[in-house]
Amino acid sequence: MTADTPYATLTPDLVLDAVSACGLWPDGRLLALNSYENRVWQVGLEHDGLEPAAPVIAKFYRPGRWSDAAIIEEHAFTQELAGAELPVVAPLAFGGRTLLHHGGFRYALTPRRGGRAPELEATDQLQWLGRLIARLHLVGARAPFAHRGRLDRDTMVQQPMHAVLASSLLPAALQVNYRATATRLDAAIAARLEAVGPVRQLRLHGDCHPGNLLWTDAGPHFVDFDDARSGPAVQDLWMLANDERAMDAVLEGYRQFRPFDHAELALVPALRAMRQLHYAGWIAARWHDPAFPAAFPFAAESRWWDQHVADLHELADTLE
C-alpha cells in the first residue's frame, strides 16, 4: 500500500475479516458501493435464528486524509444528532469504540439504510429538508469542532489549485491561463467573503447534496458525514436549491426551527466557486488512485480542462 494506491491491499477477504473481528458473522456476500474518497462495502450477515440478519455497511477510510481524532469527532457528532432524534446513520460501537482498525486500515460499520433521492422540484419536500437541516444546525451550534477544520479558502481553493498545477492532467498550454484564472477567482472569493463580513460558524454536514439525503416513506435521512466541518449555515442549503423559488421553500421550512441570517445568501456564489475549484483539485490530487481514472475519464481530456477554465472565468465574472 502506498499513498498513490492506498487500497491495494484492501481485498474482499480483508473486508470480511474486519467485519468478523467485530463479532459479526459475514455470510460472504459483498457489494462494493459507489465511493471514491473512501472504500465502502455492503456486507451480508448470517441469519439470526429464523430471520435474515440485516447487512451492515463497512467504510474504510482513506489513509492520511483525517486524523483519528477528526474521525472520532465526526462519529460523536452523528451520535449526538441521533440522540437528538434526527434521522442520521450513525456508526455502530464495538467495545465502546466506533473507529476500528484491522489489517492496516481504519474503518467503521453502520447499519444499512436505503432510500431514494429527494424530489427537489416538490415544494413540500424542500420545506421538509429545510426543517430537518435547521434541526441539525441547532445541534451543530451547541459546540465547535476541535479537529475537523473549517470551510475556508485554504482547503477549498488554494490547496486544490496547487494540486491541479502540480498534476500532469492540466495541459501545458493551459498552465498560465489556469493559474491566472484561478488566482483571479480566489481574489473574487476573498472579496465576497470580506464584503459579507463575519457570519456564525457551526458544525455542518458539509456535503449536503441530494445524494447524501435519502428519502423513504418515513421521510428523509442524512448519510455520509465524511466532509463534516465548520462553516456558515447556508453551506448545507445551497446545493439543494437550484433557483430562488427552491431556496425560498427550503428557508420557509428552515425558519420554522431556527433563524437564518439572510446576509449568508450573498455567500452562495463564492461557495459554488469554491466547490468548483475543489472538485478539479480533488480529481487531480487523487488521480494515481486507480478508481479515479476509471470514474472520471473526462479529466484526461484537454477539452474538459478548457471548459473548466471557461467556467472559472464565468464564476469570477459573477462574483466581481
Backbone phi, then psi, for 239, in 5-degree steps?
-75, -10
Are the C-beta atoms of 241 and 130 separated by less than 8 Å? no
* Distance from C-alpha of 109 to C-alpha of 111, rounded to nearest angstrom: 7
* Distance from C-alpha of 10 to C-alpha of 18, rounded to nearest angstrom: 10
| Kind and range of the H or E run holding 234 | none
Q: Say which of 207, 227, 248, 311 is annotated catalytic.
A: 207
Residue 306 annotated in active site: no
Residue 207 annotated in active site: yes
35-73 in b/e burial notation, b at 16+ Cβ within 10 A? ebebbbbebbbeeeeeeeeebbbbbbbbeeebeeebbbb
Listing DSSP states for 182-203 in one string gives: HHHHHHHHHHHHHHH-----EE
* Distance from C-alpha of 128 to C-alpha of 43, rounded to nearest angstrom: 32
Long-range contacts of 125-129 (CB under 8 A, 24+ apart): 125/215, 125/220, 126/240, 126/241, 126/246, 126/249, 126/250, 126/253, 127/249, 127/250, 127/252, 127/253, 128/219, 128/220, 128/253, 129/213, 129/220, 129/240, 129/250, 129/253
User: Residue holding cell 463575519?
Assistant: 198
Are the C-beta atoms of 98 and 108 separated by less than 8 Å? yes
Long-range contacts of 29-32 (CB under 8 A, 24+ apart): 29/55
Q: Say which of 224, 226, 236, 289 is annotated catalytic.
A: 224
- Residues catalogued as catalytic: 207, 224
